[in-house]
Structure 1
Amino acid sequence: MQSFIQYRRIGLGVRKQLERDSEKSGFSFTQSRLPPHAQSTTHQETPSSSSSSNSANSNTSDSQRDSITSNEDEEIVEESHLGHTLTGIHVRDRTTHEGKGEKVFIVDWEGQNDPHNPRNWSVAYRVWITLNVALIAFVVGAASSTDTAVLPQAAADFGVSDVVESMTIGLYLVGFAVGAAFAGPFSETFGRNAVYIVTMFIFMIFIMASALAPNIGAQLAFRFLAGIFGATPLTCAGGSISDLWNPIEKTFAFPIYAIAGFIGPVLGPVIGSYIINLGSWRWAEWIVLIISAVVLGIIVLFQPETFPPLLLRWKAQHLRHETGNTRFSSEMEIIQKPLGSRLYEALTRSITLSSEPIVLSMALYLTVLYIVLFTFLDGYTYIFQEVYDISQGLTNVIFTGICVGILLASFLVPWRYIETKKSFANNKFVPEQRLRFAMLGAPAIPISLFWMAWTSYSHISIWSPILASTLLGYGLICIFMTAYMYIIDSYEVYAASALTFVTVTRYAIAGGMTIAGVPFYRDVSHHVVLSVLGGVSLVLMPVPYVFYKYGHVVRRRSRWAVSWDGGVGVEL
């Protein structure tokens, strides 16, 4: 709906611009204006016409032909002049790979304050759009963990073990990994909005199919497919935020998305905590479906398109229609890179960037954190039900402890925004400044894991592991926000490919480890498992500190990273 309204508004803007700028070129147009070749017609004689008549009219025909040719030449000159004088139009020759031919009028924004440029929309409107994207991330994230709240009931219904039923979570995460590899190129071909709406609709179909699954095989298959189509916000959200916010504004804009998206998996068990009271574990899927339908309605009715190349393509279409000149074109149209080529380029570049120290280190760090988070979904059952003997429903509600920690990290955002703004003002900003979030949160991960591992005894207050989980949530979101913003600033134009590798890696491995989490906690004990996870996170804890000090050296030696000269990203 909003995309249609947006398309109409761009058309009105084009008409106003032509009316205003055409005076400078002396070129007048009307909406019904035809291309030059359609305006030139000649009178044709029948073969039976007399030769004297042909002879008498020959001079007149020649004169008319010369006049028509002259008029066409004049119109071409006028149109070329219009292309040069219209604000935001860049006239250039076609490059070799674009084919030979006349000059092309590349359509761009009408100055820095063009109202159709998403970055010029009001702050309140851009926050609203960002929240809409965050809602999608919240829903698909919640769907990843809601099943943990009813895992014993679903396993009993299908006559399988808890380990087998936990595959519904693991395969969903693996589906995330598969879908993340394709979502980015699709959004760069069809636009963000179309991909959000279509994938969300298909995601809902497979969630509904999971709720109706007659056996464990069908449930596993449908959950995997739901994960594939639910992966869209994992890769496209970064692009949407870049469409809307400049590097300074992203300091507070990205946490809006990150916090809401990260809360999803944490609140999933809370949403499903008392589902069993409704009579069936299947209500875990029905509740997700209902929430998804509400979110999809919001996206369809209120979410505009934010992908600048597509918006400029719409503008070029209106210019061609209004002027009859086919040389108006956006970069997206003239390059005409097919979807298959985009997919191949995205996948191969993602693999290539996997050798980058920054990308590899952040991928490893986030993978460990996601293993901690999703195996925690299994560990909570053993800690609070087995040790503290509380109900299944209340155990799932205790996940709000992690949620509180995530929200506490939001209080750091205003401070980081002020610091980043000062750095840009003094031309001293470098991507490594983003790592201060992680430097404040990294120690919280091993501390919280060791704390929970060795204080979760029945003779110690239940509030001890709950507070430990709060500290864990704080550390997780600090590192998550840092990793994404640091990669985006370090690789800019190649950030999508780098983030694709990071996303695919962490969800594929975390999905496998989630399945292994149940026997680990059951056979080894939560004390040992949490201690091992704490030890691994302790080994990785220096990562943000190392890159804060030496990251600029790593970027300087990279063929893909960018240097920041005076607060401005410069490709190396």
Structure 2
Amino acid sequence: MAAIIDLARTSVAGELIHFVSGGRLFQFPDQHADFVVPVQFGLDSEKSSFRDIVVNDVDIEKKSDADLEAKRDSLSDGDGDDGTLSLPDQFTVDWYGPSDPENPQNWPRWKRYLVIFEICFLTVAVYIGSAIYTPGLQQIVEEFHVNDVVALIPLTVYVVGYGIGPMVFAPLSETPWIGRNLIYIPSLFLFVILQVPTALSKNIGGLITVRAITGFMSSPPLANGGASMGDVLSPANLAIGLSFWSIFAVQGPVFGPFLGGVFSQVKNWRWSFWILMWISSLALVFLFFLLPETSPETILQRRARRLRIRTGDARYSTKAEQEYANFSIRSFIYDCIARPIIITFTEPGVFFLNWYTALIYAVMYCWFEAFPIVFVGVHHFNLIQLGLSYFGISIGVLIACAAFISTIRYWLLPRLIRGQPPEIIFKVAFFAAPMLPIAILFFGWSATASVHWIVPIIGSGIFIVGGFTVFQVVFNYLGMSYPRYLASVFAGNDLFRSCFAAPFPLFAKAMFTHLGPTKFPVGWGSTLLACVAALMVLIPIVLLKLGSKLRSKSIYAN
């Protein structure tokens, strides 16, 4: 029971109960009567006892900010020469030593693993939504009297929405007064609510509008999921944790068409959104009660607030609060919009790596059009079988993750520890990058009636092995090279690849149909994509040779 209380105390539900009860329920250790404020926060215990400045808990709850300010002034009047208490301008609140149990890095293993599971569950619950309705596309065409391209616009605007979202949500989650949970839970609540007007849409314009907003609200796992992993995992294990989390980021768009196919065939396309509402509602309830706040800055900010209340001294603050003291809308806009774009287009390494990940994303979204052409048009699958055809990607990502984690642990980390530059990770891409054009060609030219349907599915699995590995190489390299501006770098990557890939489903079907040939309906279209992917193989080769020199000239890189 104590473990559950400890888990729920810093969840959104726990914080709300704590606030409504006036601090009587879900109390923290520093709210107990026998708690003593640590001396490392600035008080000289030889001159004054803490009891001299700690006021009664019941009384202090009634004090206003003006009262706290007056208390601070009264404590600062003495100069220390006559034995009165003399205090500095600020007490920087930090952890209570290296083994502080409130530090997410010191949480029990079960608690940290539960947080990882919750973030992965959240990721799947919202990213199922991107392509969940695509199996019912023809039903939308017939009901709203539009063509295929217009019916795909809701997918495009959803992808653009969750590309824009990290530009706002990533920097907001870094502010000590907000943290991770006040981004995750409200946005997930709105995501759940928005499924109702989506499922009840009366026309294509309404569907497009609601899907654009829903895509924006689905972006916090993409914006902050990696940061949550970094909160609870040590730097040595972070790459492994990010790889594990990335599995779920890929599985969402895979399970979406499967669920959409089932409910579109059994009911209709609207039921795809009802099932999405139920899944995301389950995630909302689970996370509302059991997802603890993981941001160290936010945990310490709330500790500092409790100490200000307990002692009546307004000088207790954290480093993050002090850094954000001069926070302005102008600086927020710069952090959200200007810096990610500046880094993307002025850092050659970042620019070309963003192009690479954007291409992989684009091929993935092209396949939401190619798969129906191949498996419905050629192999005559029904909608449920069409959804199952995406599971080659699901299996491929599991294989890729296992291989990449082994590579990180047994090959990359020992070399980084010996002092080799981060560009060494591009050697991993030498094996993965050629898989992309090979797999695209394999898929395209095996998609014919005379070849068993499992062959193009194997091709899609090979593609995701290479694509997943390249993604991990890119993200780990950016993380090692731009640690000071990681949120901006990742936000720029999210925006770039999402906006680049979003239009591809709109013209993918026309590209495949017009390029043909009839016997291999996605053959020449796949060849075009494969040629671009083959050119991209040069990027890791060039960055292995020149990456260190480019970083040395950068004002942003490490």
Which residue in the other structure is 2:449 paired with? 458
Deviations 1:423-446, CA, capped at 9 Å, x for gaps: 46x442542344454333212111
Equivalenced residues, count: 514
Q: How does 1:312-323 map to 2 (within 5 A)?
A: 312-323=300-311
Within 5 Å, give how 1:411-422 maps onto structure 2: 411-412=402-403, 413-422=405-414
2:531 paired residue among 515, 532, 535: 535
Cα separation, partners in 2 of 1:433 and 1:293, compared to 1, 3 Å: farther
Instruction: Tell me, in whole angstroms, the C-alpha distance in 2 between the residues paired with 1:76 and 1:282.
Output: 78
User: Is residue 560 of structure 1 aligned with residue 546 of structure 2?
Assistant: no
Structure 2: gaps of 5 or more residues: 1-7, 16-25, 61-66, 517-521
Aligned partner of residue 91 in structure 2, secondary structure: strand
Matched, 1:353 2:343: yes
| Aligned residues of 2:429 and 2:470 also touching (Cα < 8 A) | yes
Return 542-551 or 175-184, whichever deviates more.
Answer: 542-551
CA distance, structure 1, for counterparts of residue 523 and residue 83 of structure 2: 80
CA distance 1:79–1:111, change in 2 (3 Å): farther
Distance 1:561 1:261, change over 3 A: same
Per the alignment, residue 132 of structure 1 pairs with 118
Aligned with residue 501 of structure 2, among 507, 510, 525: 510
Contact 2:162 2:218 in 1 (8 A): yes
Letter in 1 for 2:99: N
Counterpart CA distance in 2 for 1:198 and 1:310 is 17
1:402-441 alignment, distance < 5 Å: 402-412=393-403, 413-423=405-415, 426-428=417-419, 430-441=421-432
Matches within 5 A, 1:495-506: 495-506=486-497
Structure 2 vs 1, CA of residues 15 and 161 (structure 1 numbering), >3 Å: closer, same or farther? farther
Matched, 1:28 2:50: yes
Unaligned residue ranges in structure 1 (runs of 5+): 41-67, 82-101, 563-572
Counterpart contact for 2:198–2:207, Cα < 8 Å = yes
CA–CA distance in structure 2, aligned partners of residues 523 and 198 of structure 1 = 45
The letter of the residue matching 1:552 is S
- Residue 560 of structure 1 aligns to a residue in which SS? coil
Distance 1:103 1:477 in 2: 51
Show the counterpart of 1:380: 371
1:217 pairs, out of 195, 205, 216, with 205
Deviates more, 1:332-341 or 1:508-517: 332-341
**Secondary structure of the corresponding residue to residue 368 of structure 1:** helix
Once the two structures are superposed, what CA deviation does each residue of 1:158-189 show, in whole Å capped at 9, x if it has no partner? 11112111111111111112222211122123
Q: Percent identity?
A: 25
Map of 2:381 onto structure 1: 390
Of 531-540 and 199-208, deviating more is: 199-208
Alpha-carbon offset, residue 74 of structure 1: 5.7
Q: Displacement, 1:521?
A: 2.4
CA 1:287–1:39: 2 relative to 1, 3 Å: closer
Distance 2:33 2:334 in 1: 35
Given the alignment of the two structures, is residue 145 of structure 1 paired with residue 136 of structure 2, yes or no? no
Distance (whole Å) between structure 2 residues aligned to residue 71 and residue 157 of structure 1: 76
Aligned in 2, Cα 1:247/1:440: closer, same or farther, shift over 3 Å? farther
The answer to whether 1:159 aligns with 2:155 is no
Task: Tell whether the 8 Å contact from 2:264 to 2:383 is kept in structure 1 after alignment.
Answer: no
Matching residue of 1:57? none
Distance 1:406 1:38, change over 3 A: closer
Match of 2:392 in 1: 401
For the 8 Å contact 1:119–1:246, the answer to whether it is kept is yes
Match status 1:272 vs 2:268: no
Instruction: Say whether the 8 Å CA contact 1:136–1:233 is kept in structure 2.
Output: yes
Write the deviation string for residues 460-481 of structure 1: whole angstroms up to 9, x where unpaired.
2222111111101211211122
Q: How far apart are the structure 1 equivalents of 2:75 and 2:305?
A: 27
* 1:447 and 2:438 correspond: yes
CA distance in 1 between counterparts of 2:137 and 2:282 reads 26
1:409 is displaced (CA, Å) by 1.0
Q: Secondary structure at the match of 1:150?
A: helix
The Cα offsets for residues 376-417 of structure 1, whole Å up to 9 and x where unpaired, read as 110001111222222232122110011110011122213412
Residue 38 of structure 1: how far off its partner (Å): 7.0
Amino acid at match of 1:258: S
Pick which of 25-34 and 281-290 moved more.
Answer: 25-34
| Residue 88 (structure 1) aligns with | none
Deviations 1:279-322, CA, capped at 9 Å, x for gaps: 22101111111110111112111111111111111121122222
Q: Which amino acid aligns with 2:211?
A: R
Contact residue 3 and residue 304 of structure 1 kept, 8 A: yes
Structure 2 distance, partners of 1:185, 1:509, is 23
Given the alignment, which residue of 118, 121, 128 partners 2:104? 118
Partner AA of 1:403 in structure 2: S
Q: Deviations over 1:502-539 (max 9, x none)?
A: 10111112111121122222333311111111111111
Question: Against the structure 1 CA distance between its residues 13 and 379, is the aligned structure 2 distance closer, same or farther, given a 3 Å change threshold?
Answer: farther
Q: Residue 155 of structure 1 aligns to a residue in which SS?
A: helix
Residues 478 and 486, structure 2, Cα contact 8 Å, conserved in 1: yes
The alignment status of 1:253 with 2:241, answered yes or no, reads yes
Evaluate the alpha carbon distance shift between residue 103 and residue 24 of structure 1 in structure 2; reply closer, same or farther with a 3 A threshold: closer
**How many angstroms does 1:139 deviate by?**
2.1
> Post-superposition shift, 1:368?
0.4
Measured after TM superposition, the shift of residue 259 of structure 1 is 0.9
* Aligned residue in 2 for 1:11: 30
SS at structure 1 position matched to 2:96: coil
Structure-2-length-normalised TM-score: 0.85
Letter of the structure 1 residue corresponding to residue 335 of structure 2: E
Question: Relative to structure 1, is the Cα distance of residues 550 and 441 closer, same or farther in structure 2, using a 3 angstrom cutoff?
Answer: same
> How far apart, CA to CA, are the structure 2 residues paired with 1:14 and 1:409?
53
Distance in 2, matches of 1:284 and 1:121, equals 38
The 1:449–1:37 alpha-carbon spacing in structure 2 relative to 1, beyond 3 Å, is closer
Tell me which moved more, 284-293 or 312-321: 312-321
Could you tell me how far apart the structure 2 residues matched to 1:75 and 1:319 are? 27
Contact residue 68 and residue 314 of structure 2 kept, 8 A: no
Cα offset, 1:331, TM superposition: 2.4
Q: Distance in 2 between matches of 1:321 and 1:186?
A: 25
Q: State the Cα distance separating 1:339 from its structure 2 match.
A: 5.3
In structure 1, give the amino acid aligned to 2:538. Answer: P
**Contact 1:186 1:339 survives alignment (8 Å):** no
Give the aligned CA root-mean-square deviation in angstroms.
2.8
Establish whether residue 343 from structure 1 lines up as the match of residue 333 from structure 2: yes
Contact residue 14 and residue 315 of structure 1 kept, 8 A: no
1:511/1:79 CA distance change after superposition, 3 Å: farther
Distance in 1 (alpha carbons) for counterparts of 2:69 and 2:408: 60
Equivalent of 1:205 in 193, 213, 217: 193
* Distance in 2 between residues matched to 1:31 and 1:414, nearest whole Å: 55
Taking structure 1 as the reference length, what is the TM-score of the superposition?
0.83
- Structure label with greater radius of gyration: 1
Shift of 1:206: 1.9
Supply the AA of the counterpart residue of 1:194. Answer: L
User: In 2, Cα distance between the equivalents of 1:302 and 1:488?
Assistant: 29
- C-alpha contact 1:36 1:75 (8 A) present in aligned 2: no
Amino acid in structure 1 at the alignment position of 2:193: I
Which has the larger displacement, 72-81 or 356-365?
72-81
Correspondence for 2:215 among 227, 246, 249? 227
Q: How far apart, CA to CA, are the structure 2 residues paired with 1:36 and 1:163? A: 62
